[in-house]
Amino acid sequence: MNTASNQCHNALVDCASRLPEATQPLLQRIKATLKVWQWRHKVRSQLRADMVVMDIARIEKDTGLPTGALRQEAYKPFWKA
């Protein structure tokens, strides 16, 4: 994790320790959602970087994906599945 991620994680843990136990499941779901979003951002950023050197049309054709599917996935916001 980078410094910003560590600070965010530490702040979340600190806040969670101060809240009543009834809110713990909510915080766990929030934390899980943030991890998924972070993973999507990383994967899509890497895909955008890889697209610079890849032959996108050929890869889509070889894998049976519709034209533009990789570009659409790469530029989709991280919060969308």
Per-residue model confidence as pLDDT tens digits over 26-58: 888 999 999 999 999 999 999 999 988 888 889
Q: What is the pLDDT of residue 19?
A: 65
For residue 7, the enclosing domain spans 3-74
pLDDT over threshold 80, residue 17: no
With the C-alpha atoms ordered 65, 70, 71, 74, is the resulting torsion angle positive or negative? positive
Question: How many domains are there within the chain?
Answer: 1
Tell me which residue of 67, 2, 73 sits closest to 40, measured CA to CA. 73
Bigger pLDDT: 63 or 22?
Answer: 63
Residue 2 has pLDDT above 70, yes or no: no
Region label for 67, one of left (φ > 0), alpha (ψ between -120 and 50) or beta (otherwise)? beta
Residue whose structure tokens are 């806040």:
15
| Structural domain includes residue 16 | yes
Residue 80 domain-assigned (yes or no): no
Does the residue 79 lie in any domain? no
- For residue 46, tell me if it sits in a domain: yes
Winning range, highest mean pLDDT, from 5-19, 20-34, 62-76: 62-76
